[in-house]
Amino acid sequence: MIDEIYINEAVRIRKDYLENLIYIAQEQETIESLTNELKELSDEIENSENKSEKYYKDALVEVDNMITKAIEKIQPYHDKIKELDKTQRKLYTTIKDKYPEITDNELKKIMIPHILELDKKYKAKYGDLI
């Protein structure tokens, strides 16, 4: 068996991952709305009879603002998920260094029940978001 501290760290990493994933999923509607606005703006530009340079510049600024807004909302959560992946890899390496006799399958058998229990709690609370 491995020390409880490693199991707790794996559960903490999974919890943080799920919370970031849930936030991103909740923002899906906002992103879809921005996508629709971008499509409408694209159609408007394509069908516009006002072909002045200022019109196109203003439209591009509006598109850039929409994209920036979407990125600003999601990027911190995306970055956190990437950071959690690195943390998870470090945890794996630490466990393998401390317990070289434990195979990957044995490690999965130890960790998965704890992770599944957490997933079950989040699934009950957030449903299809995860």
- Reading the chain (130 residues) residue by residue, the pLDDT tens digits are 899 999 999 999 999 999 999 988 888 877 788 788 878 877 877 777 766 778 778 877 887 888 888 888 889 999 999 999 999 999 999 999 999 999 999 999 999 999 999 999 999 998 887 7
User: What are the residue boundaries of the structural domains of the chain, listed by start?
Assistant: 4-129
Distance CA 122, CA 130 (A): 8
pLDDT, residue 26, reads: 85
Instruction: Return d(Cα 60, Cα 37) in angstroms, integer.
Output: 13
- Which pLDDT belongs to residue 54? 82
Question: What pLDDT does residue 86 have?
Answer: 98
What integer pLDDT is reported at residue 69 of this predicted model? 83
d(CA 54, CA 30): 28
For Cα atoms 85, 81, 70, give the angle at the middle one, nearest 5 degrees: 155
Q: What share of the chain is helix, strand, coil (3-state, %, to 5)?
A: 90, 0, 10
